Chains A and B, each alone.
Chain A
């Protein structure tokens, strides 16, 4: 009896440290933020209150809801683009490459950029797409353009390109894992039953790799949705995303209550996406055993 109690106590002690940590540094800050979102802004800062004015501003002021829509749109485009690039690439790595050493090498080549500073990778695109950049120089050198153009940088296009490139590893990783788990014998069984390679892909390989696709879409969407560096570096005037607005509210605008309300809205959207994907993944979960 006593041993059981002691074991419970010790396991409780082990769990309590990370539990307290999350409580103190995750839940408490969120709770404070949640409280702030109902506060009233009054010069010079804000006063405690319970009113929905901040949330009303977000859904009534086009300045805010338009940015929210734009962020949603860009996150959708980025995750779709990442999927369209990552899936064929990963499929090639897993199924077409015969040499496993080369496969690991190329897989690492996709993943290693994650260890490179995010800022550095975003800057890279600035040097590629910019007025004096590699792309412009190349086009001028090829005589396709007579002089460098500005159309590549500081717009939503450059943002999508940059974000897609930065977040692609998060798409490749889950798809790679999912494709590797597809038993080769199932693909062979499909062909054995008279089904050609393309339809085998549509009917067997793709459905069996869906968990990876869903996970990848969720990662890239949520990461893009909360991004504020790419819009800042390569986004230009109409490239602001919701996270930039939040940053401004807590910074220059000194409107913490509105910033808090925007953060809560963001959080809700991301949580919805995650729970949705979790449910999808659960519904489509397949017992490969």
Chain B
């Protein structure tokens, strides 16, 4: 599997010295579904626009299927974009919108019709071929935009927050549909979003960006279970952050002491030395309540007081005071109604059990790149 996109040390500086993308390098494999994830202003859209050709990098090169396309205008690149606002031409029917690129670039009429037919069939909108964009719903416009981008058989499909304007239910349906489409077509997708759930659901690989740089890139499970920085741990899912000091470290275990006790971590062994200020992070759903059952000796037990319990539908979230800054969050999956009665009430003291393999430890200063 070769790399279809190679971004090499690309920097984009705007007028006034604003650095949107800062020395970014990224390879995208053929057929891969890569998501650029980050808050607004992190440079993800600018990166996508440079691949599409709407922006020219200030520095660095971009290769598409081995060819240097850094200076090529968008109409000479074999990539197509699905725009955030769909950008359907209001003065053309759906059929003409989809066939627009082919028609204007002189593809014979007899060749256009079957291609448009195929693209509209792919997105399931064949019956709307003669409708006008203004008569379609948001989800339908989204599909037309998709069909229009696919009809030219691009090497890469770029998607710029295409689902952000849809309501929650439709968005979920489109996420699954896009994922299936990707599998069916075997096309390379580069997707931009600020929604971490969307990124986790759809992607083969997620690239987390912050301030124009890549913070971490990896599979969704990798990012979730082994965040490289507190930023990633916080941005993807929810994490409890415990600030403390390394009290013990060997090749296998790192122990972090904080006001309320000590938490052991199995990963990152050997990276820290005793006395170093660190942050330990653990997901709310990986923490268990100390019940009657036994637990392995390497697990940590932390005592705390329940401050509040919040019903989340499929889970209960406990806010527990463990004598450090923020309330410590614990998610409890409810399986039967019986457990509901056993939930600790606010004010009661509880013991929490933490598996050292679910704890990540980061240095206190988030690594500022040189």
Name A's B-contacting residues (CB within 8 A).
Answer: 183, 185-186, 188-197, 199, 203-204, 207-208, 284, 286-289
Is A186's CB under 8 angstroms from B75's CB?
no
Is A203's CB under 8 angstroms from B104's CB?
yes
Contacts between the two chains (Cβ within 8 Å), count: 73
In the complex, B87 has a CB within 8 A of chain A = yes
30 contacts between A and B (CB under 8 A): A183-B85, A185-B87, A186-B89, A188-B74, A188-B83, A189-B81, A189-B87, A189-B88, A189-B89, A189-B148, A190-B89, A191-B53, A191-B54, A191-B74, A192-B81, A193-B148, A193-B149, A194-B101, A194-B152, A195-B75, A195-B100, A195-B104, A195-B105, A196-B75, A199-B104, A207-B91, A208-B90, A208-B91, A286-B91, A287-B90
Look across to chain B and name the residue whose beta carbon is closest to the beta carbon of A202.
B104
Residues on the B chain within 8 Å of A192, using CB: 52-54, 74-75, 79-81, 149
Residues on the A chain within 8 Å of B54, using CB: 188, 191-192
Is A191's CB under 8 angstroms from B87's CB?
no
Q: From B73, B80, B84, B85, give the contact of A193 (CB < 8 A).
A: B80
Q: Which residues of B, 80-122, contact A by the 8 Å Cβ criterion?
A: 80-81, 83-85, 87-91, 100-101, 104-105
Q: From A193, A286, A289, give the contact of B152 (CB < 8 A).
A: A193
Q: Give the distance in Å from the alpha carbon of A63 to the alpha carbon of B83 in the complex.
A: 61
In the complex, B134 has a CB within 8 A of chain A = yes
Look across to chain A and name the residue whose beta carbon is closest to the beta carbon of B107.
A194
Interface size class of B (residues with CB under 8 A): 20 to 34
Look across to chain A and name the residue whose beta carbon is closest to the beta carbon of B98.
A193
Name B's A-contacting residues (CB within 8 A).
Answer: 52-54, 73-76, 79-81, 83-85, 87-91, 100-101, 104-105, 133-134, 148-149, 152
Look across to chain A and name the residue whose beta carbon is closest to the beta carbon of B84.
A185
Q: Give the distance in Å from the alpha carbon of A284 to the alpha carbon of B132 in the complex.
A: 13
Is B83's CB under 8 angstroms from A190's CB?
no
Q: Give the distance in Å from the alpha carbon of A191 to the alpha carbon of B105 in the complex.
A: 11
Residues on the A chain within 8 Å of B90, using CB: 208, 286-288
Q: Give the distance in Å from the alpha carbon of A185 to the alpha carbon of B84 in the complex.
A: 9
Residues on the B chain within 8 Å of A194, using CB: 75-76, 101, 104-105, 152
Residues on the A chain within 8 Å of B73, using CB: 191, 196
Look across to chain A and name the residue whose beta carbon is closest to the beta carbon of B74.
A191
Q: Give the distance in Å from the alpha carbon of A193 to the alpha carbon of B53 in the complex.
A: 12
Residues on the B chain within 8 Å of A207, using CB: 91
Is B105's CB under 8 angstroms from A186's CB?
no
Q: Give the distance in Å from the alpha carbon of A185 to the alpha carbon of B88 in the complex.
A: 9
Is B89's CB under 8 angstroms from A204's CB?
yes
Look across to chain B and name the residue whose beta carbon is closest to the beta carbon of A288.
B90
Look across to chain A and name the residue whose beta carbon is closest to the beta carbon of B78.
A194
Residues on the B chain within 8 Å of A289, using CB: 134
Q: Give the distance in Å from the alpha carbon of A284 to the alpha carbon of B79 in the complex.
A: 32
Q: Give the distance in Å from the alpha carbon of A18 to the alpha carbon of B40 in the complex.
A: 50
Q: Tell me the smallest distance from the CB of A274 to a CB of chain B, in Å.
A: 23
Q: Tell me the smallest distance from the CB of B94 to a CB of chain A, in Å.
A: 14
Q: Tell me the smallest distance from the CB of A185 to a CB of chain B, in Å.
A: 4
Q: Give the distance in Å from the alpha carbon of A264 to the alpha carbon of B133 in the complex.
A: 44
Residues on the A chain within 8 Å of B104, using CB: 193-195, 199, 203
Q: Give the distance in Å from the alpha carbon of A208 to the alpha carbon of B133 in the complex.
A: 14
Closest 10 pairs between A and B when the two form their complex, measured CB to CB? A193-B101, A287-B134, A189-B87, A185-B87, A191-B74, A286-B90, A191-B75, A195-B104, A194-B101, A192-B81
Further pairs besides A199-B104, A208-B90: 6, Cβ < 8 Å:
A193-B75, A194-B101, A195-B105, A197-B75, A203-B100, A288-B90
Is A183's CB under 8 angstroms from B91's CB?
no
Q: Give the distance in Å from the alpha carbon of A204 to the alpha carbon of B89 in the complex.
A: 7
